[in-house]
Structure 1
């Protein structure tokens, strides 16, 4: 299930992930993560060719949707483990208010409130082939020459560039700026 949100970022319901993406995809809660290793290299991933949205496209390390009642940090950690077999050393919020809408050539729409996280991990990924077709570690400065990235990654890179040249030194954002639906208390309820 994914969490549907209104234009103010408040939870307004849920829908099955299998049916939420179509030509009129409702606004829903998601996340993007950028995984860095101890050398400061970024993990780029290629989406599996069987995925419904943007199959085969290169993108940031890991994206996903928090389950109803799940904190954003838990969702990031869960998806990193599921998709890439990685255990995060740290998960830090860097872009709390990122939002985008993108349309595929076939009319499929992605429409997300999508906070962005910087993650550090050690070790090599063990990719789930149903999620990730390939991966590569790249230097942050080399991303500017890539022309094969997902639309959300391109938009996020513009905002991330404003945080500074060294990703490991980006400031951690105030979690109070997250959409209301993404601010989870320990009870699992949405804090308003």
Structure 2
């Protein structure tokens, strides 16, 4: 894997154990090459019709390019709270803000065809707003709103179009929605 292919490659990620206790920091590229467990977050923004805002990842992303996923996801920086990181990245990627509430966490590991591995302790935050996104084209190439039942059908019919972490956390997301 060529080093220049990873956005923010020199960014430091927070290494954690399986209880989400920080055990160190390391650069993003080596974390993903070595498959080290690190802290991450996923944001799910819903509108007032209970539709989820999905983003299609930019084709320039170092893994999962062009795949549909949750509204926003990334990593907190060392010394940055996860909620502050969520607010920062939601604005950087989607050009929007919303009141975010922590919902649940999950652990997952997935090895990509390019040799990189995501091994994340992922904190899920949920928000609601009718503010439309103003996407950062370096991060996102398209967006859409979709109901959870329609998303489940889409994932069942075309799983290859969606990111692994979205598919992994769908059941837990449904159990933790602030609306039913």
TM-score, with length taken from structure 1 = 0.80
Q: How does 1:33-72 map to 2 (within 5 A)?
A: 33-72=43-82
1:18 deviation in Å? 4.1
Aligned partner of residue 103 in structure 2, secondary structure: strand
Question: Could you list the runs of 5+ residues in structure 2 that have no partner in the other structure?
Answer: 1-11
Whether the aligned pair in 2 keeps the contact of 1:86 and 1:121 (CA below 8 Å) is no
2-structure distance, mates of 1:17, 1:119? 27
**Which among 130, 140, 143 is matched to residue 122 of structure 1?**
130
2-structure distance, mates of 1:8, 1:117? 18
Question: Could you list the runs of 5+ residues in structure 1 that have no partner in the other structure?
Answer: 171-192
Whether the aligned pair in 2 keeps the contact of 1:93 and 1:116 (CA below 8 Å) is yes
Q: Which structure: greater helix fraction?
A: 2
Whether the aligned pair in 2 keeps the contact of 1:40 and 1:168 (CA below 8 Å) is no
2-structure distance, mates of 1:61, 1:54? 14
2-structure distance, mates of 1:32, 1:160? 11
TM-score, with length taken from structure 2 = 0.85
**What CA deviation, in whole Å up to 9, does each residue of 1:24-46 have, x standing for no partner?**
22100000010111222110111
Aligned residue-pair number: 164
1-structure distance, mates of 2:179, 2:152? 19
Aligned to 2:163: 150
Aligned to 1:3: 14
1:70 deviation in Å? 1.1
Whether the aligned pair in 2 keeps the contact of 1:44 and 1:59 (CA below 8 Å) is yes
Structure 1: which 4+ aligned runs deviate by more than 4 Å?
none
Q: How does 1:1-40 map to 2 (within 5 A)?
A: 1-22=12-33, 24-40=34-50
Aligned partner of residue 168 in structure 1, secondary structure: coil
